[in-house]
Amino acid sequence: MYDSILVPLALDHGISAQTLEISRALCSEKGQITALHVYEVPKGSVSVYIGEETVERGFARARQILNEKIAGMEGVRAEITRGQAHLAIIEYAVKHGHDCIVIGSHKPGLVDYLIGSTAARVVRHAPCAVHVHRDS
């Protein structure tokens, strides 16, 4: 059983509820679950064209969707941060002392073998236990 579980959620994937349920099963009686979404701001020249106001509206919308996903789930708190997904997840886990990360993953395709998925990168670099839930 873990006392502090981090559950990174991609808001556009349909496995959030399953991943959160797995984290509940792994959580100690007095443990805390944190649902984290990493908002990736568009990079390079794209950011010049969309403007800061559009980025802020997107961030606010992502926060709203995250809060809807965990509504009514006792013992789960929502957090949102900005950055590159795998780096932000690991940084958050270190900063807040999480002892487990429960992350969803998809079946790897050719691109994942070449550059790696977010889940694979988290597994390789996390300072704590990582449980990967692969949707069938």
Phi and psi at residue 30, to the nearest 5°: -105, 15
Asked if 89 and 38 count as a contact pair (C-beta separation under 8 A), the reply is yes
At 6 the pLDDT is 98
Q: Which residues of the chain have pLDDT under 70?
A: 108-116, 136
At 16 the pLDDT is 83
At 60 the pLDDT is 96
What is the model's pTM?
Answer: 0.90
Phi and psi at residue 80, to the nearest 5°: -135, 140
User: 67: which strand partners?
Assistant: none
CA 44 to chain CA mean position, Å: 23
At 136 the pLDDT is 64
At 25 the pLDDT is 95
At 17 the pLDDT is 87
CA 42 to chain CA mean position, Å: 18
DSSP 107: -
